[in-house]
Structure 1
Amino acid sequence: MEQEMENIESPQHVDHSKSEVIFDNTNRPITLKFENVAYKIKLVKEGCLKNSSKSEEEKIILKDVSGIVSPGEMLAILGPSGCGKTTLLTGLGGRLVNGHLDGVITYNNNPFSSSIKRSIGFVTQDDVLYPHLTVYETLVFTALLRLPKTYSVEEKTAHCDAVIPQLGLTKCKDSIIGDSLLRGISGGERKRVSIGQEMLINPSLLFLDEPTSGLDSTTALRIVSTLKDLANGGRTVVMTIHQPSSRLFYMFDKVLLLSEGNPLYFGRGKDAMGYFSGIGFPPLVAMNPSDFLLDLSSGILSDDPRVLSDAPREDPALIKQTLVAAFKTNLAENLNEQLQESIDHLATEKLPDKIFSQWSNTWWQQFSVLLRRGMKERKHESLSNLKVGEVLVMSFFSGLLWWKSNNIQDQTGLLFFYTSFWEFYSVFQGIFTFPQERLMLEKERSSGMYRLSAYFMAMTVGDLPMELVLPTISTVITYWMAGLKPSAGRFFSTLFSLLYNVLVSQSLGLAIGAMVMDEKSATVLALVILISYTLAGGYYVQHVPRFIAWIKHISITQHAYKLLLGSQYSLGETYSCGLNATCLVEDSPSIKTIGLGGKGISIVALAVMLFGFRFLAYVALMRIGVTKK
C-alpha cells in the first residue's frame, strides 16, 4: 500500500518505458448496431388539489431509430434539445435504468453483457471529478480501480503516463482539478481528463455525451480531433453534439439526425446536405451544415430575413412529418440492408461469453484504493479552515463561560450542551456526504469500478480519524478550562462518551442523506428528528407524559447525556447544596430525571443505532448506479 502511494504522489519515479502498453489492441474491435430502438417512459402527473388522484402519462422519447457504426468510424447524433439524443446514447451504452426500451442493440451481434461492458467507455456531459485531486492522481486512482488485477501497480501507472501526453495533459498533470469555488484546470482540460479516465481501459467502443458543451471553438476542435485520432486507431466512437462548427461537422464519418425521437437522416456526414437538397429541402443561403440540419429538425426551412421577409412560413409540424416520411422512403430500406449485411459479415465474430470476471480487482484492492482516495479528497472538507476555526472558537468560548465551574447545575448544563452541539454538528456532517457523492457514485458504479460494500467500508473507515479529531481537540480545551474532574479516568470516560455520540450521530446523518438524497429535504427532516431528540433528552423536560415518554428510549441525546453524566459523577457522591449542607448527586434535580444507572443499556442502545443507521444508509445506496448487467 505504501508503495502504491509513492507511485501516486511521485509520478517522476514511474518507469515510462512501459507506457506503450496502453496502445496494445487488447480489446476486440466492436461494431455497434441498433435496430428499431424505441423508448417509452411513464410520467406521473398530480392534480392541482392536494387530495386529487395521480394519473400516469406515457411519453415516447425514441421512435424506431436504427443505425450501424463500425470500428474506425465516428458517429455524431444531432438534433435540438429534447429530441432524445442523450436517451439514445444512454440506451446504447447499456445505462438506462427507467422506462421501457424496445428494439435490438448488439455489439458484434452479441447482446449487452458484462464482457461488453468492460470494453465500453462512457463520458457523461458533466465532468464528475474530485476537485482537490490533481490530474495525475485522478487518472492513477481510476487506473488502480478499473484495470484488471493482472496488472501490477507500475503497469497501471504506466497506462496513465501514456494517456496524459496522448490527450495533451502533460502541462497540467500536477494541477488540481478544481471546481466553481476552487481554481483548477480549464474546462477543456477537465473534459480531456474525463475522456482519459475512459481511455485507461483501452475501450473498443467509446460513448460521449456533449463532449464540446461549454467549450470555445478552438478547444472543441482539439477535443474532437483527439476523438477522431482514437477512432482512426480502430475504436468505435459515438457522441451526441448540439451545434458543431462546420470544421467539426466534416470530421464525423456518420451523422444521425433526430427530431422529437424520429430519425430524419442516417449516413455519411458529407452526404447530408446533398440528401436534403435531393428531397426538396436545399439550403437557401450558404450556412454551416449543422445549423441547416438543426433548423430542419426543428421544422424551420430558414431564418434568414433576406430570404423569407415577405414569404409565408410553413407549418413546422408539417415539415417534420415530411422529413420523417422521406427518411422511411429513401433511407430506411438501404439502412436495413446494411444491418443485414453486417449480421452475415459478423456471424463468426462472436465475443466470448466471459472475457472478464465481474470485478476487475479484489474487494481488498478496491477498499484500499478507495480509502486512500477518500481520505485525500475529504480531508480538505472535514478539516477545512472554516470548520477548524468554528470548533476552536466554540471550545474556547464554552471554556470561558464555564470557567472553573464547581456548580453541579452549571456542569450538567455544559455536558448537555456538548451532547447537543456535537450531535447536531455530526448529523449535518453526515447528511451532506452522500448527496455530494451521488454523481460520482452513479458514474463509477455504472462503470462497474467497485463493489458498493468496498466503497461504503472505505468511506466509513476513512472518515473515522477526520470526524473524531475535532471533537477530541474541543474536549481537551473545554474540559480543563471548565474545571471538570481532573482525573485521567474521568477525562477519558468523558472523551469516549462524546466520541461515541459523534459516531452514532454521524450514522444518523448518513442514513438521512442516503435515503432522501436532497440536501434541503434532508436538512428539514434532520432538524425535526434532532429537536425531538433534544427535547426528550431529559434536560429541558423532566416530567414527560407517559403517552410520549417512549421517545426517550430512541433518543441519541438522552443516551449520550447519560453516559456523559456517568463519566463525571458516581452513585453515592455528594455535592454542596446549601449552607453547610451536602446532598447526593443522584438526588440533584438536573441528574435525577436521567439517573446514573443503566449505562450499559445506553451503550447497547447507541450501538444498535450506530450499526442500524449505517445499515439503512447502505441499503439506501444500493439503488444508486445500478444498470443492467
Structure 2
Amino acid sequence: MGTEMVDVEAQIDREEYPAIFEKANRPVTLKFEEVVYNIKINQRGILKKNAQAEEKQILRGISGVVLPGEMLAMLGPSGSGKTTLLTALGGRLGGRLAGNITYNGMPFSNAMKCNTGFVTQDDALYPHLTVTETLVYTALLRLPRTLTKQEKVQHAEAVITQLGLSRCRDSIIGEPLLRGVSGGERKRVSIGQELLINPSLIFLDEPTSGLDSTAAQRIVSKLWELSNGGRTIVMTIHQPSSRLYYMFHKVLLLSEGNPIYFGKGSGALEYFASIGFAPSLAMNPADFLLDLANGVSTADSNENHTAIKQKLVSAYKTNLSDNVKSELKIDYQHHESTMDDKQFRRWSTTWWEQFSVLLRRGIKERKHDSFSRVKIGQVLAISILCGLLWWQSDISHLQDQVGLFFFYSGFWGFYPLFQAIFTFPQERMMLAKERASGMYRLSSYFMALTLGDLPMELVLPTVFVVITYWMAGLKQTPKYFFSALFTLLYSVLCSQGLGLAIGAIVMRQKSATILGSVIMLAFLLASGYYVHNVPKFIAWIKYISISQYTFRLLLGSQYKPGETYPCGSGKTCLVEDFPSVKPVGLDGRAASFLALAVMLVGYRVIAYVALIRIGVPKR
C-alpha cells in the first residue's frame, strides 16, 4: 500500500463476493490444563502489587480441550471467572497465571496471535463511521501487505456479505445519543473485524449480552456455521436460551473459579442427575446449570449454598477430572499444522501505511466532534460578545486592550485543554482492543492523532481572532494581526498537549477535568495579571505557566518597547511602564517562544509515555 488511501466512500463493485472464509486455514486444537490465576487485593478490594496485600484465587485449576469444529460455551454466574479464563486462553492475561495452555501443542506465539480473533463484550467501535468504513479501515490495517488495496476492500465486502450486513452497510455505527445500527448488527460488525484475518481460533466474551432472543439466535447460529468450517470457537455466555444451549458442542460450568462440569452440552443434565441433582420440572438447561453454580438445588432447597457448591466441586474431581485429563493426553496430530513464527511479522503493514490509514480514519471520525453545532455556536457567540464589549478600543483604553489579551490567553488555555483531556479516556477501549490485536504501532497511532487534530483544533481559534481582533479596533495591519494570530495558535497547541498528557496519565474523565482545571487556574493566577508581587516561594509557577508566556507574547505582538500611550492631561507614558504590563514586560519574547516550544513537545512526549501502559500483557 502506498501513501494514497482507498476512498471507502467511492463506488465499489456491489456484487456478492464469494464466501472466502468458509474454512479455517490452520485448524487449532486448544488445550488448557490446571489453569490457576491469582491477584492481590487489599481489604477494600482494590488491586495491589505489594507483598502485604491479600492474595485471592480467581481460577482454581481449570482444564479442558476444544477441537477444530467445536464451539465451547463457558457458563457461570457473575464473578465465577469466565472472562478471566477467556482472556487467559486468548493470550491477553498477564500476571500470576499458572498452568499449561497450548495451541496445537505449542505455547502462544506471534504466529498464533495472527491466527486468533478476540471479540470483547463491549463493542469498541467508532460511532460516526459506517459499517463498510469500519470494516474496510480494519482490513487495511490488519491484512498483510502482500494483498493489494482492492483485495483488502474485497475481503471486507466478503465479510459484510457473510455476516448478513449488506442491508446496513452504509449506516453509521452510532452510540446511545446517535442513532445507528442495531445492537445485533453492532455485534456482527465486531465479529466481522476479527473474521477479516480468517482466524482458526475465535474467542468471544458475552456475544449475546444486551440482545433480544432473535438477535442472539442469529449471532450464535452464525458462530455455529463458522465452527463447521473447522474453526475452534470459545465463548463466555451468561444465560442462553434453550435453543442456544443445544448449539454448543461443549460446555464448561464454573462456580467461584472452580470447574463443576466440562463435557458435551447435551450430557450435562444426565451427569448432574447421576450425582443427585436433577431438575424437578422441565426447564431451560442453562438456567438449571446456573442455579447449581450459585449453590441452588431444587432437590433440597434448605441445604446450604456453600455446601452444595462444595459437593459439586468434589463430584467433578471424582467423576469428570480423570476424563478431562485423559482427553488432554490424546495427540491430535491429524489436526496439527505447523505455523512458523518467523513467517509472521509482528506488524501486517508498514509504519507509514498504518499512519496513513489512522490519519484518514481519525479525521473522518473526530471532525463530527470538533465541528459540532454546539462548539461552533459557542465560539461564535463568545467571539461576537467579546467584539462588542471591546468595540473599537484604541490605545487610549490600554487597560481594556490588555484585558482582552489576557482573556485570549485564558479562554484559549482552557478550551483546547478540555477538548484534549477527553481524547484518550474516550479512546481507551478502542486503543486497548486494537493494540491487543496487533493492528498498529503506538507511535503511528499517536502521530496520526496528533497531526490529524491540528487543522481541526486551529480552525475555531482562527475564527475567534478574525472576529474579535477587527471588532476590538486593534492595530489594523497584517503584521500585527498575524503576529497575534500565530501567538494564539501556538498557545492552543501547547494547551492541547497539556490536555493530552493529563488525559493519558489519569484516564478518568472526571478526575482529569478536575486536575486540568486546577493546573490551568494556577497558571492563570501566576501569569502576572492578577497578582503583581508574587512571593518568591511560589513564584516558580510562572516559569511553567502557559498563560504567562502566552500573555507576554500577545502583548509583544501589539506593543513594542518605547511605545507610548496617552495617560491623561496631555501626557504620554511608556506602555512597558503600565501597571498591568510592567510585571510581565515586553521583552523576553524569544525566551517565551522557546519555553512554549519545550512545553509543546514535552507534554506530548509525556502523553506518549503514559499510553505505553495500554498495551498487550506479556505471558
TM-score (normalizing by structure 1): 0.95
| CA separation of 1:186 and 1:95: change in aligned 2, threshold 3 A | same
Q: Which deviations, in whole Å up to 9, do the C-alpha atoms of 1:378-422 show, x marking residues without a partner?
A: 011111100000000000000000000011111010000011000
What is the match of residue 255 of structure 1?
251
Of stretches 22-31 and 504-513 in structure 1, the one that deviates more from structure 2 is 22-31
Aligned residues: 613
Q: For residues 97-133 of structure 1, what are the alpha-carbon distances to aligned partners after superposition, in whole Å with 9 as ceiling and x for unaligned?
A: 3x41110000000100111001000000111110000
The 5-angstrom pairing of residues 3-152 of structure 1 reads 4-6=5-7, 8-10=8-10, 12-14=11-13, 16=15, 19-20=17-18, 22-23=20-21, 25=23, 27-45=25-43, 56-97=53-94, 99-152=95-148
Query: Of 292, 307, 312, which aligns to 1:323?
Result: 312
Structure 2 matches for 1:180-329, cutoff 5 A? 180-302=176-298, 313-329=302-318
Q: Give the 3 Å change call, closer, same or farther, for CA 47–36 of structure 1 in structure 2.
A: closer
Give the direction of change, closer, same or farther, for the CA distance of 1:169–1:437 in structure 2 (3 Å limit).
same
Q: Distance in 2 between matches of 1:344 and 1:172?
A: 42
Per the alignment, residue 371 of structure 2 pairs with 383
Q: Distance in 1 between matches of 2:38 and 2:587?
A: 62
Give how far 1:584 is off: 1.5
Give distance in 1, aligned partners of 2:179 and 2:303: 49
Matches within 5 A, 1:400-411: 400-406=388-394, 407-411=397-401
Give, in whole Å, the separation in 1 of the partners of 2:134 and 2:30.
30
Q: 1:227 to 1:24 in 2, by over 3 A?
A: closer
1:56-94 CA-to-partner distances (Å, cap 9, x unmatched) read 111111111001111111000011111000000000001
Q: 1:55, CA displacement in angstroms?
A: 5.2
- How far residue 351 of structure 1 moved from its aligned partner, in angstroms, is 2.6
TM-score, normalization: structure 2?
A: 0.96
The answer to whether the 8 A contact 2:121-2:205 is kept is yes
Letter in 1 for 2:339: L
**Alpha-carbon distance in structure 1 between the residues aligned to 2:148 and 2:482:** 44
Q: Tell whether the 8 Å contact from 1:143 to 1:160 is kept in structure 2 after alignment.
A: yes
CA distance in 1, matches of 2:373, 2:604: 28
Question: Which residue does 1:588 correspond to in 2?
Answer: 578
Residues of 2 paired with 1:66 and 1:344: CA distance?
20
Change (3 A) 1:399 1:114: same
In 2, Cα distance between equivalents of 1:312 and 1:351: 52
1:550-589 equivalence runs, <5 A: 550-589=540-579
Structure 1 pair 358–73 and aligned structure 2 pair: CA distance change class (3 A): same
Distance 2:562 2:51 in 1: 63
Partner deviation per Cα, 1:577-605 (whole Å, 9 max, x = no partner)? 11211111111112111111110000000
Q: What is the identity percentage for the equivalent residue pairs of Structure 1 and Structure 2?
A: 64
Aligned 8 A contact 2:24 2:229 in 1: no
* C-alpha contact (below 8 Å) 1:47/1:54 kept by paired residues: no
Give per-residue Cα distances to partners, 1:22-50, cap 9 Å, x unaligned.
327573111100000011111123599xx
Kindly state the Cα deviation for residue 300 of structure 1 after the two structures are TM-superposed: 1.0
1:62 to 1:46, Cα distance in 2 relative to 1, 3 A: closer
Unaligned runs of 5+ residues in structure 1 are 303-307
Cα deviation, residue 520, structure 1: 1.1
DSSP 3-state at the match of 1:617: helix
Q: Is the 8 A contact 2:355 2:444 kept in 1?
A: yes
Whether contact under 8 Å (2:27, 2:337) holds in the other structure is no
**Greater alpha carbon shift after TM alignment, 499-508 vs 573-582:** 573-582
In structure 1, distance between residues paired with 2:144 and 2:337: 24
Residues 1:613 and 2:614 aligned together: no
Per the TM alignment, residue 565 of structure 1 is displaced from its structure 2 partner at its CA by: 0.4
Q: What is the alpha-carbon distance in structure 2 between the residues aligned to residue 298 and residue 487 of structure 1? A: 78
What is the rounded CA distance, in whole Å, between the counterparts of 1:300 and 1:593 in structure 2? 75
**Equivalents in 1 of 2:24, 2:293: separation in Å?**
40
Once residues 301 and 122 of structure 2 are traced to their aligned partners in structure 1, the CA distance between those partners, rounded to angstroms, is: 41
Mapped to 2, the partners of 1:26 and 1:240 lie a distance apart of 21
**Contact 1:125-1:213 at 8 Å conserved across structures:** yes
Unaligned residue ranges in structure 2 (runs of 5+): none
- Residue 384 of structure 2 aligns with which residue? 396
Contact 1:35–1:105 (8 Å) recurs in 2: yes
Aligned to 2:357: 369
Separation in 2, partners of 1:354, 1:547: 59
User: CA 1:21–1:2 in 2, change beyond 3 Å: closer, same or farther?
Assistant: farther
Across the aligned residues of Structure 1 and Structure 2, the Cα RMSD in angstroms comes to: 1.8
Q: CA deviation at 1:353?
A: 2.7
- Residues 16, 158 of structure 1: 8 Å contact kept: no
Question: Matched residue of 2:346: which SS?
Answer: coil
Q: Which string of whole-angstrom CA distances, capped at 9 and with x for unpartnered residues, describes residues 180-207 of structure 1? A: 1101111001000000010011010000
Contact 1:391 1:474 in 2 (8 A): yes
When structure 1 is superposed on structure 2, of 270-279 and 132-141 the one drifting more is: 270-279
- Residue deviations 1:275-297 (CA, integer Å, cap 9, x gap): 11112211111111111111111
Do the aligned partners of 1:31 and 1:70 also contact (CA within 8 Å) in 2?
yes
What residue identity is the alignment partner of 2:30? L
C-alpha distance in 1 between matches for 2:557 and 2:309: 77
Residues 2, 21 of structure 1: alpha-carbon distance in 2 compared, 3 angstrom cutoff: farther
Q: Deviations over 1:128-183 (max 9, x none)?
A: 11000000000001111110111111000101111111111110010000001101
